Amino acid sequence: MRTLAVILILSAAGICQLVDGPKPQLEAANLIGPVQPPAFNFVEAAKQPKPVKVVNREFMVHSALTGALMIADFESALSAQRHNPNLRESDPLFGAHPSHLRMYATALPLEAANAFLAYELKKHGHTKLWRVPFFVAETMHISGIASNLSPRPGGSFVFF
């Protein structure tokens, strides 16, 4: 009885495959006429935009400059705190007396997100706007360095 059921199931599966098989060709192929090459439209090909190289020399320079300014900012802040324990970090993300690990572990993902934002802006055709995240980060780190190197006891530095 089992053998009969297996044979019926297998034959039903074979019949289903035959139903969906290839159909007969009803039209004859035209082998006498000339073969036409596919048409190439040079105007349409010229209109297609060229891919933008996102990570170029300027992008790498901004990334490296932002990283170098971040390191200078953090090291000058930690050096000032080491020489004067009464000084406090003004950024609430780092806490009052952060360690090297806390400063870098907090800031590196933010710097990476900043670079990713600039990358995405540039990739989607914003030819000038992609520089803004880098300029904001560079300006913040420069002001932090100036504040850390300020001769005033609180590290406050006034630009004006």
Per-residue pLDDT of 24-74, as tens digits, reads 666 555 566 666 666 767 666 667 667 768 889 999 999 999 999 999 999
- CA-CA distance, 71 to 77, in Å (whole number)? 10
Q: What pLDDT, on the 0 to 100 scale, is given for residue 14?
A: 58
Q: What are phi and psi of 73, to 5 degrees?
A: -65, -50
Q: Which stretch of DSSP H or E encloses residue 47?
A: helix 42-47
- Kindly tell me the burial class for residue 146, based on how many C-beta atoms sit within 10 Å of its own C-beta (0-12, 13-18, 19 or more): middle
CB 97 within 8 A of CB 81: yes
Q: 135 and 118 in contact (C-beta within 8 Å)?
A: no
- What pLDDT, in 10s, does the model give residues 98-146? 999 999 999 999 999 999 999 999 998 888 999 999 999 999 999 999 8
Specify the pTM. Answer: 0.65
* Domain definitions of the chain by residue range: 57-148
